[in-house]
Structure 1
Amino acid sequence: MTDNVEKVLFAEFLESSPPNQFIAINDLTHKFHAPTSSYPALHQPAIQLYCNNDLCNGIRFFRSLTPSIRFDNDTTRDLFLTYRCGNCQKTTKQFAFRAQTDETGYSGTVHKYGEYPPYGPPTPPKLLKLIGPDRDLFLKGRRCENQGLGVGAFVYYRRVIENQKNRILSEVKKVLETLNAPTSTIETIDNAINETQFSKSLDIANPTIPEALFINGYNPLKLVYRALSDGIHNHSDEHCLEQAASIRIVLGELSERLAQALKDEAELTHALNKLLNQH
């Protein structure tokens, strides 16, 4: 069944194969040695995944918590595996799939039903913190994007940005305050926060965005607003998917720059205080 198909390692399948695909696996099972016997068992290798726990925030090794699964009688099985981060010992990942061994008993095919948290590149923790209460709504958009549902992803991202407009602008205000921006600029960003109409609010806020938050020389809020203004009418799902991905990437970069600007200023203030307080 899988003789003429390129086979991958089971670890690679768990780490990087999206759901709803049949994948040929080279090391599906291995010989498990029990005290009184040995038998073929599902291979449960250590895998590398992104861990978003505050102790990690990066790629870490995950190890299976699932007991040995025998394959000596059944050639096809519906299975669940649970993995846990070996560093923080808190973050877990679950996989659901169907595994079928071939005539060798050690290789075979696997069909991934799904996984939780859902498949896809990790969402930066700083971005999730920026959008705050709409975290789940944003992740629904992320799942739509992963599945190629452009209109759905675009609509979810737009709702998040509209809902959290004041939260985003308040973070911009913090950066302006740390940079000792003129009082008139602070008043302008306050006016933008108090404006209830979304488009008008961003029009007011755009001139106040400090260059420290610019991305390749461009104002990120202006870029996002332009994409949101484009809307979804008369556009293909593919176009909406591209726009949604661009909005997510720019918003993620903005969250990083907001956090970095505040961190840089805090470190500078700390360094100055150290020097000024020397005896």
Structure 2
Amino acid sequence: MSDVDTTPPEKDEINPAEEPISLREFLERTHPSVQKPVNGAWEIEASVGSRRRKLTYPEIRLHCRDCQGERTFRLANRNESWMWETQICNAHPIFRCGDCNLQSKQYALRVVFKGEGDASLYKYGEHPAFGIPVPNRVLRLVGNEDAALFLKGRQCENLGYGIAAFAYYRRVVENHKNELFEEIIKVCETLGTSGELIKELKAAQKEISFSKSMEKIKTALPHGLLIDGHNPLNALHGALSVGLHAESDENCLANAQAVRLVLSELVERIALLKQENKQLSAAVHRLLSKR
């Protein structure tokens, strides 16, 4: 793939009403196979006897697998420039984690230059794949067979296939609602939560669908399981209740991402509460043994 694309500029496949985004947002949050209008994407590079265009790569925030968290990534390879007459080019920036200096992220982009620093950018792809890896705790919760389905959903989400991603995630959540309720019951029993909630969760396990299960749960969850003050089960229920074919692919993609994020955060909080209680119990026993 050459750096200069000689294909004549075609009509942009962008909604004229679509709001432009920053180059940082495009790199961090835009799925592969998506085209977006980008503000401030390039600047003029003055050279002897000519003017050239250079992309203005910012620092970006991405998940680092080595650091196991979000970190600042900076451009690691040479920032190329293009002759002023060039209308379309292919760019291959490589970013590297500023903390460990080990993890890198490589992009393949198609750039159509516009006026005053603006551009139309298309993301061919990126490596490692777009998005944060699925936590191992989530995969363990759903078991081997459905873990493969969940990862297929993640792959569809990475590619921007909203309806497919949502269908995979919904199937996995419906298949494993009882395992999720069981983990919450264990937390409730460990924390000494109201017996009424445990009774409701056990009743919910007997229902066939997630929607019917939620009708059984009236008591609030332990505070440590709330996300931004809200019940994550209600959030999942709201997303999963949406008719698959009544929504656009774009809306399904947003819903799929929300389901994955809420489920992952809930599973992480369950594990954290169990671990914190285990440590607290060990500390109490240690202090009592000193008496």
Q: Do they fold alike, i.e. is TM over 0.5?
A: yes
User: Is this contact kept in 2: 1:11–1:46, CA < 8 A?
Assistant: yes
Question: For 1:158, what is the secondary structure of its paired residue?
Answer: helix
Q: 1:31 to 1:216 in 2, by over 3 A?
A: closer
> Identity of counterpart residues, as a percentage?
26
Unpaired stretches in structure 1, ≥5 consecutive residues? 1-5, 33-38
CA drift of 1:262 comes to 1.9
Question: Is the partner of 1:88 in helix, strand or coil?
Answer: coil
Counterpart selection for 2:137 from 129, 143, 159? 129
60, 68, 77: which one pairs with 2:89?
77
- Residue 20 of structure 1: CA displacement? 0.6
Shift of 1:112: 2.4
TM-score by length of 1: 0.61
Q: Which residue of 2 aligns with 1:63?
A: 74
Aligned equivalents of 1:23 and 1:200: distance in 2?
40
Query: Are positions 1:23 and 2:38 aligned together?
Result: yes
DSSP-derived class of the 2:244 partner: coil
8 Å Cα contact 1:130-1:167 kept in structure 2: no
Q: 1:96 Cα shift?
A: 1.7
User: Which letter does structure 2 place at the counterpart of 1:14?
Assistant: L
Equivalent position amino acid for 2:104 in 1: T
How many equivalent residue pairs? Answer: 258
Where 1:21 maps in the other structure, the secondary structure is strand
**Equivalent residue for 1:112, pick from 99, 109, 122:** 122
Name 1:35's counterpart in structure 2: none
Tell me the amino acid that sits aligned with residue 122 of structure 2: K
- 1:259 alignment partner AA: A
Question: Is residue 273 of structure 2 the alignment partner of residue 265 of structure 1?
Answer: no
1:190-269 alignment, distance < 5 Å: 197-198=208-209, 202=213, 206=217, 210-212=221-223, 213-214=225-226, 220-221=232-233, 224-225=236-237, 228=240, 231-232=243-244, 235-237=246-248, 244=256, 247-248=259-260, 250-269=262-281
- Structure 2 CA distance for partners of 1:7 and 1:177, relative to 1, 3 Å: closer
Question: 1:205: how far off?
Answer: 8.6
Letter in 2 for 1:262: K
Deviation at 1:57, TM superposition (A): 1.5
Unpaired segments of 5 or more residues in structure 2? 1-18, 141-146
The corresponding residue for 2:106 is 94
Specify the alignment match of 1:50 in structure 2.
62
| Structure 1 residue 168, shift from structure 2 partner | 2.6
